Amino acid sequence: MSFIEKMFDQARKDKKTIVLPEPMDKRTYEAAEKIVKLDIANVVIIGTPEEIEKNGAGFDLSGVTFVDPFNDPNKQKYIDKFVELRGKKGVTPESAKEQMEKDYMYYACLMCKCGDADGAVSGACHSTGNTIRPALQLLKTKPGISGVSGFFVMEVPDCTLGENGLFLFADCAVNPDMDEDKMAEIAGLSAESFEAFVGGQAKVALLSFSTKGSASNDRVTMVANAAAKAQERFPQYMIDGELQLDAALVPEVGQLKAPESKVAGNANTLVFPDLESGNIGYKLVQRLAKANAYGPILQGLSLPVNDLSRGCFADDIVGTVAITAVQAQIAAK
Radius of gyration for the alpha carbons in the chain, expressed in angstroms and rounded = 21
Residue type for position 51 = E
Categorize the per-residue pLDDT at 198 as very low, low, confident or very high, splitting at 50, 70 and 90: confident
Start-to-end Cα distance in the chain: 25
Q: Note the pLDDT tens digit of each residue in 303-316.
A: 999 988 777 788 88
CA–CA dist 291, 158 (Å, integer): 10
Q: How far is CA 143 from the centre of its chain?
A: 17
What was the pLDDT predicted at 238? 95
pLDDT top residue among 310 and 193? 193
SS3 1: coil
Q: By percentage, how much of the chain surpasses pLDDT 90?
A: 76
Strands 119-122 and 305-307: parallel
DSSP string, 176-231: SS--HHHHHHHHHHHHHHHHHHT-S--EEEEE-S-STTSS--HHHHHHHHHHHHHH
What was the pLDDT predicted at 253? 94
pLDDT top residue among 127 and 308? 308
Strand order in the sheet with 149-155: 238-243, 203-207, 269-271, 166-170, 149-155, 292-299
What was the pLDDT predicted at 257? 93
Q: Note the pLDDT tens digit of each residue in 78-104.
A: 999 999 999 889 899 999 999 999 999
Whole-Å CA distances, 167 to 120, 239, 245, 304: 24, 15, 13, 21
Region 263-278 average pLDDT: 94
β-bridge mates for residue 249, sequence order: none
Number of Cβ atoms within 10 Å of the Cβ of 264: 28
pTM of the predicted model, to two decimals? 0.88
What was the pLDDT predicted at 251? 94
Residue 301 near residue 13 (C-beta atoms within 8 A) = no
β-bridge mates for residue 19, sequence order: 44, 120
Q: How far is CA 269 from the centre of its chain?
A: 15
Q: Note the pLDDT tens digit of each residue in 131-152.
A: 889 999 999 999 999 889 999 9
Q: What is the mean pLDDT of the chain?
A: 92
Count helices and strands (H / E) in the chain: 14, 11
Residue 192 near residue 203 (C-beta atoms within 8 A) = no
Strands 203-207 and 166-170: unpaired
SS3 167: strand
CA–CA dist 292, 268 (Å, integer): 15
Categorize the per-residue pLDDT at 214 as very low, low, confident or very high, splitting at 50, 70 and 90: confident
Residue 20 near residue 45 (C-beta atoms within 8 A) = yes
What was the pLDDT predicted at 12? 96
Measured in degrees and rounded to the nearest 5, phi and psi for residue 293 equal -115, 110
What was the pLDDT predicted at 172? 86
